[in-house]
Structure 1
Amino acid sequence: MFQHKIDEEVALKLIDLKDAEAVFKLTDQSREYLREWLPWVDKTIKVENTEEFIRESLKDYVEGKSLTTFILYQGKLAGAASYNKIDWQNKIVYIGYWLGKDYQGKGIMTRVARGLTEYAFTEMQFNKVVIEAATENKKSRSIPERLGFTEEGCIRQAEWIHDHYVDHIFYGMLADEWKE
Structure 2
Amino acid sequence: MFTNKINDHLELRLLEPRYAEELFHLIDRNRGYLKEWLPWVDGTMKVEDSQAFISASLQTFANNGAVQLGIFYRNKLAGCIGLHGIDRSNKSTSIGYWLGAEFQGHGIMTDSCRALVDYVFAECGLNRIEIRASEFNAKSRAIPERLHFVQEGCVRQSEWLYDRYVDHVIYGLLKEEWAQIPIIREGSDESLPL
* Same fold by TM-score greater than 0.5: yes
Post-superposition CA distance 1:65-122 (Å, at most 9, x none): 5200100111111110001111111111200001111101111000011111111111
What letter corresponds to residue 119 of structure 1 in structure 2?
Y
RMSD over aligned Cα atoms: 0.9
| TM, length-normalised to structure 2 | 0.90
Note the 1:84-103 alignment, pairs <5 A.
84-103=84-103
Note the 1:15-94 alignment, pairs <5 A.
15-64=15-64, 66-94=66-94
Separation of aligned partners in 2, 1:3 and 1:93: 20
What letter corresponds to residue 92 of structure 1 in structure 2?
S
Separation of aligned partners in 2, 1:9 and 1:91: 32
| Number of matched pairs | 180
Per the TM alignment, residue 9 of structure 1 is displaced from its structure 2 partner at its CA by: 1.6
Note the 1:1-180 alignment, pairs <5 A.
1-64=1-64, 66-180=66-180
* 8 Å contact kept, 1:65–1:87: no
Q: Which moved more, 1:1-10 or 1:129-138?
A: 1-10
What letter corresponds to residue 21 of structure 1 in structure 2?
E
Which ranges of 4 or more aligned residues in structure 1 deviate by more than 3 Å? none
| TM, length-normalised to structure 1 | 0.97
Q: Which runs of 5+ in 1 are unaligned?
A: none
Identity among equivalent positions (%) equals 48
Q: Which moved more, 1:122-131 or 1:146-155?
A: 122-131
